[in-house]
Amino acid sequence: MAGAIAMRRVVVKGRRATAESPTVRRILIAVVTLFFGLFLVMPLVVVFHEAFKRGLSAYLSAFQDPYTQHAVYLTLLVAVIAVPLNTIFGLASAWAITKFSFPGKPLLTSLIDLPLWISPVIGGLIYVLLFGRHGWLGGWLIDHDIRILFALPGIVLATTFVTFPFVARGLIPLMQAQGSAEEEAAATLGASGWQIFRRVTIPKIKWGLLYGVILCNARAMGEFGAVSVVSGHIRGRTNTMPLQIEILYNEYQFSAAFAVATLLCALALLTLFLKFIAEWRAARQLAAGSRS
Amino acid sequence: MSRRRHVLPGFGLTMGYTWIYLGVLVLLPLAGLALKTGTMGWGSFWAAISSPQVVASYKVSFGISFLAALTNGVLGLIAAWVLARYEFPGRRVLDALTDLPFAMPTAVAGIALTSLYGPHEWIGGLLAPWGIKVSYTLVGVYVALTFIGLPFVVRTLQPVIADLSAETEEAAATLGAGRWRTFWRVIFPSLLPALLTGVTLAYGRAVGEFGSVIFIAGNRPFHTEITPLLIVSKLESYDYNGAAALGFVMLAASFLIVLVSNGLQGWGARRRVA
């Protein structure tokens, strides 16, 4: 106990010698504030400014457009399919990776990360090569009258591809840090796998899981490159919100384009807020865990 | 390989599901791309990936991404340091905003940056009298790629800075090293692996970026056209072979970048243990 107090005092004393001078501090804080202001805050502000420039009624009238309404509907529909798929995958892969040791684990982790580093355009291209008219399965699909490209299944596939690491990536480090002691105790007491998962693991990871799902959802609703390749840009049928924003923008309907963009921006801000909450809760949980 | 080795159940189920999902959704389609390229023959493959327009697009995609990643390296290091070490009003807001490029759809970022940096707009209007044009030039591509790469350096460095042991810094200070010297000789070398990892990740992300760039770039062939856009225009003109060949080059580049970043991460982990 006395040792701990003495240690702390040295650190507090030492902080003077191991910290920058107040001037340097102020300059660095100013540089970062300016950089973030220019690159992060201003783009956010400009979206809302452009959307509301012509008043609230102009803003609201952007959503009267049936094509825009359909784009919102399609985006929600795609997310409702893609996000649960990736959530189940995220839970399964995080369980496999963090609860067991097996050869090839680093390879599997790298493969799960892969879609993050591949150009979204390639995420669309691979499905065109597979399901397109001249693709590997194109002839068979035409014979059986199944539409994948330029239709909902293609958009869902491309979206799922681009967003599939997010839940897994959020959960793996969290579950690794938490360890498996509680789960193993439950197993020794005779709980079944499903019981352990539902009663022990889910309560431990719920905030990290929630953030992963929300981030996955934000990315799914905002995906542009991959969806643009497979959608065919058919108005009122295969345009998602980001594609609709592109069309409106290219037609110089700036207010309408930015109005749709505000919805996605609000979603992005909500995502950041939930991440903030999730990190705070996870830190508290870890601290509580190490104390007990 | 029996059940007895594992205390917890579910290994077969979760592992099998993980590989099947990964295989169907990612590995098989990617193999299809490689196979498509394989059927082309070397001559037409080389012709597709080395035409002057394509080479010009490599210069934009790979070159400007490099400049953007370097910028993120310098400013991201400062940002990670400030966010991890200093307490000041607004720190939490800046910290939370760091992930914005990750959460904001690329198309939205694209139109927002294009509007900001247009010649008569808020920032573009300030730069115009100096003869600096941003939107529809390479500078615009650079701005967009810097934006989307920003979180990677900061988020890779932050935990490493938080984990730095205070003792080495104190030792350096006790031995009479100034703050500047301590930073360069003691702190910077231990941050270097994470810094390079972050820069590599930002670079990898920038090379493949599409949505935010195409709005601000103007997309003039031979000048501001990026390689992913060329893939899209080849697909739109039903040139599947050309698109596949370019896709294969981009894919190979991504693999290489991931490999380098994994190597750097391993180097950092070994250094921290040592």
- For A185-237, the pLDDT digits (tens) are 999 999 998 999 999 999 999 988 998 999 999 999 999 999 999 998 888 89
Residue A12 pLDDT: 41
- Asked if residue A181 and residue A42 are part of one domain, the reply reads no
- Please, which residues have CB within 8 angstroms of residue A217's CB and are 6 or more apart in sequence? A79, A83, A267, A271
Instruction: Give the residue from chain B lying closest to A131, CA to CA.
Output: B29
User: How sure is the predictor about A289, in pLDDT bands with cuts at 50, 70 and 90?
Assistant: low
In whole angstroms, what is the distance from residue A279 CA to residue A208 CA? 8
**Tell me: domain B49-273, CATH 1.10.3720.10, correct?**
yes
Does residue A241 have a pLDDT over 60?
yes
- Tokens representing A216? 């996955």
* Same domain? A35 vs A89: no
Residue of chain A nearest B240, judged by CA positions: A129
Tokens of B151: 């979180």
Q: In a mutagenesis test of the B interface, which of A9, A126, A239 is the best target, namely the one with the most B β-carbons within 10 Å? A: A126
Residue A284 reports pLDDT greater than 90: no
What local confidence, expressed as pLDDT, does residue B65 receive? Answer: 97
pLDDT grade for B169, boundaries at 50, 70 and 90: confident
> What does the alpha-carbon distance between residue B56 and residue B63 come to, in Å, rounded to a whole number?
10
Last residue of a domain, one of A11, A29, A52: A52
Do the domain assignments include residue A59? no
**Rama region for B177: left / alpha / beta (φ>0; ψ in -120 to 50; rest):** beta
Q: Within this chain, do residues A74 and A11 fall inside the same structural domain, yes or no? A: no
* B210 pLDDT higher than 80: yes
A132 has a pLDDT exceeding 80? yes
From B154, which residue of chain A is nearest by alpha-carbon distance? A32
Q: pLDDT at position A290, please?
A: 64
Number of domains forming the structure of chain A: 2
A21 and A150: one domain?
no
Say if residues A67 and A235 touch (Cβ distance below 8 Å).
yes
Give me the residue label for tokens 């106990």: A1
Same domain, A243 and A121: yes
Q: Is A58 among the domain residues?
A: no
Residues A224 and A112 in one domain: yes
From the list A108, A132, A264, the residue facing B108 with the nearest CB is A264
Could you tell me if A135 and A44 lie in one domain?
Answer: no
Residues in chain A with CB shorter than 8 Å from the CB of B115 are: 46, 50, 254
Query: Which residues on chain A are in Cβ contact (under 8 Å) with B86?
Result: 25, 28-29
pLDDT digits (tens, 9 = 90+) for B130-161: 988 998 999 999 999 999 999 999 999 999 99
Ranges of H-type helices in B119-239? 122-127, 138-163, 166-174, 179-182, 188-208, 211-217, 227-236
Residue of B nearest to A132 (CA): B240
- Name the residue with tokens 């993120």: B72
* A132 touches B at CB < 8 Å: yes
Q: Give yes or no: residues A27 and A122 share one domain.
A: no
CA distance A128 to chain B (A): 9
CB under 8 Å to A42, separation ≥6 — which residues? B116, B122, B123
- The mean of the pLDDT values for chain A is 89
Domain boundaries, given as residue ranges, for chain B: 49-273
Q: Among A30, A52, A74, which residue terminates a domain?
A: A52
In a shared domain, residues A168 and A93: yes
Whole-number Å distance between alpha carbons of A112 and B22? 7
Q: Are residues A32 and A121 in the same domain?
A: no
Per the domain annotation, does A57 fall within a domain? no
**CATH number of residue A273's parent domain:** 1.10.3720.10
Q: What domain range includes position A206? A: 64-291
Cα separation, B127 vs A261, whole angstroms: 26
